Amino acid sequence: MTFRIQKEAKKESMLINMGPSHPAMHGTIRIMLELDGERVLNAELEVGYLHRGFEKTCEHKTYFNLLPYTDRLNYVSPLINNLGYVMTMEKMLGIEAPERAQWIRVIMSELSRVSDHLTALAAMTMECGAFTAFLYYIQAREEIWRVIEQTTGARMTTSYIRIGGVRADLHPEIDPLLDKAITTNRALLKDCHGLLDKNKIWLNRTRDVAVVSPEMAINYGFTGPCLRATGVSYDVRKAHPYCTYDQVRFEIPLGDNGDNFDRYMVRMKEMEQSLRIIEQARKKAPVSPPSVLADGLEPAEAIKASRAKKTEAKITLSPNLEGSEKEVYPRILTKGKKYIVPPKEDTYTNIEGLINHFNFFMKGHGIRPPKGDVYFSVEGGSGEVGYYIVSDGTDKPYRLHLRGPCFHIVAALEEMILGHYIADIIPTFGGLNMIGGELDR
């Protein structure tokens, strides 16, 4: 019996699914891969497994009550989602938050940005086996979350930034906690630079992997760190300044090659700039006592009016309302009973305050912007977060659309992983910082 040895086996590609049950796919992404061994020949990406229905849900909620749903978009930096929505509403209503509230918004937004980048890089490095760097990033994020929790009362779903201002003033003892967070983050970021920047394994896993050209990034609609990693200098905070970003100094870090390493490095440098912005905002935020009382009267007029009324009962507010007392309102919220929740001191002690409270929350009342449409955007952790709202004059939006950065970035993943190996897909996906709540809206 003779045997004939086949010198060349017939090459056949293999089709496999990565996700949605794959741990790194967050349960929300499915990638159908055509492989030659471990090299990607073709890829098709499918989204939509989360089924949030954010936009349609908002059409059935009042303008005030839909605010908590924005927390669940990018749930790693919810404060920026809050800010984008409330500033869109303020543009529609023609109102502006007090100066101190503007500075508080900047501080909280930059803390959220640092938290967002730390989470993205922690996942990206861990997926390449850099577990020590992962622990450092998470330790740094914990310090940031302590400051956020002390200010807002929650670590993630905050609902802190409100239409017309913020829910409460900064905690009186925030300075030492913020100092510790900034110092710890700077030290840990320096350690991570030392661990990764010249690490041969890290460089081999990230350099020239998933390269995106400036033209490709713009065509897909990239914004945020993924766009700036390609060398395109676009940041909403610089291009269209909002809040008080035009009063602080910061730089826009850029990459050269648009690969995984540049996406890592841009985020590292952006966190340094965010800490710089926070330090400036702390110094510039006004701390003077309010000169106007919550009802919009000058002090002399308010005293005169109070003499004509019966003495109001003194109440002690719940601890979770600390920082939102009636006398603090002028510093943190705009004037006008139509746009802000009445102070609890009025709601609990006089009939006018109770009526105002009912009018604010009753169906068909509350915030009712004029008919029309408006768009406004802010710089989120992953890129431009924009809201397009159409008003029909009622207390609910006729249409609300979110311009989320993740959708545009993830759309390019199919093209980015072609020609690379299976092992390159996960860190590339982590470097894009896909957040399912923002993607499946």
Q: Per the domain annotation, does 80 fall within a domain?
A: yes
Q: What's at 230, amino acid-wise?
A: T
Query: How far is residue 273's CA from residue 310's CA, in Å, rounded to a whole number?
Result: 53
Query: How far is residue 385's CA from residue 365's CA, in Å, rounded to a whole number?
Result: 28
CATH for 257 = 1.10.645.10
Query: How far is residue 137's CA from residue 123's CA, in Å, rounded to a whole number?
Result: 9
394 exposed, middle or buried (CB, 10 Å; 0-12, 13-18, 19+)?
middle
For residue 421, give the DSSP letter.
Answer: B
What string of DSSP letters covers 266-277?
HHHHHHHHHHHH
Q: For residue 302, what pLDDT is reported?
A: 47
Local mean pLDDT, 10-residue blocks, the chain (441 residues): 46 87 86 93 92 92 94 93 97 95 97 96 93 96 96 91 94 93 97 96 95 96 96 96 96 95 97 97 78 46 49 69 89 89 89 90 89 96 96 95 94 95 93 90 80
Q: Per the domain annotation, does 10 fall within a domain?
A: no
Provide the token pair at 223.
């914004």
Query: How far is residue 47's CA from residue 407's CA, in Å, rounded to a whole number?
Result: 9
Q: How many CB atoms lie within 10 A of CB 423?
A: 13
What string of DSSP letters covers 307-318?
HTSPPPPP----
Question: Residue 177 contacts by C-beta under 8 Å, 6 or more apart in sequence?
Answer: 146, 147, 150, 171
Q: Per the domain annotation, does 268 fall within a domain?
A: yes
Provide the token pair at 204.
């081999």
Q: For residue 315, what pLDDT is reported?
A: 74
Q: Per the domain annotation, does 296 fall within a domain?
A: no
For residue 248, give Cα distances in angstroms to 31, 112, 356: 42, 17, 38
pTM for this predicted structure: 0.90
Range of the domain at 172: 54-288+367-439
Query: How far is residue 391's CA from residue 276's CA, in Å, rounded to a whole number?
Result: 38
Tell the residue number behind the tokens 């930034």, with chain if given: 161
Provide the token pair at 34.
């055509």
Question: Residue 350 contacts by C-beta under 8 Å, 6 or more apart in sequence?
Answer: 309, 312
Question: Residue 141 contacts by C-beta under 8 Å, 6 or more apart in sequence?
Answer: 114, 115, 118, 119, 122
Q: What is the CA radius of gyration of the chain?
A: 25
299 exposed, middle or buried (CB, 10 Å; 0-12, 13-18, 19+)?
exposed
Q: Per the domain annotation, does 313 fall within a domain?
A: no
Contact 435, 419 (CB under 8 A): no
Q: For residue 320, what pLDDT is reported?
A: 81
Evaluate the CA torsion angle 125, 130, 131, 135 in order and state its sign.
negative
Query: How far is residue 412's CA from residue 288's CA, in Å, rounded to a whole number?
Result: 49
Q: Per the domain annotation, does 188 fall within a domain?
A: yes
Q: For residue 8, what pLDDT is reported?
A: 52
Provide the token pair at 102.
């503007």
Q: Helices H, strands E: what count in the chain?
A: 19, 8
Q: Per the domain annotation, does 325 fall within a domain?
A: no
Q: Per the domain annotation, does 382 fall within a domain?
A: yes
Q: For residue 246, what pLDDT is reported?
A: 95
Q: For residue 178, what pLDDT is reported?
A: 96
Instruction: Provide the domain count of the chain.
Output: 1
Q: For residue 33, what is the enclosing H or E element?
A: strand 30-36
Query: How far is residue 64's CA from residue 156's CA, in Å, rounded to a whole number?
Result: 19
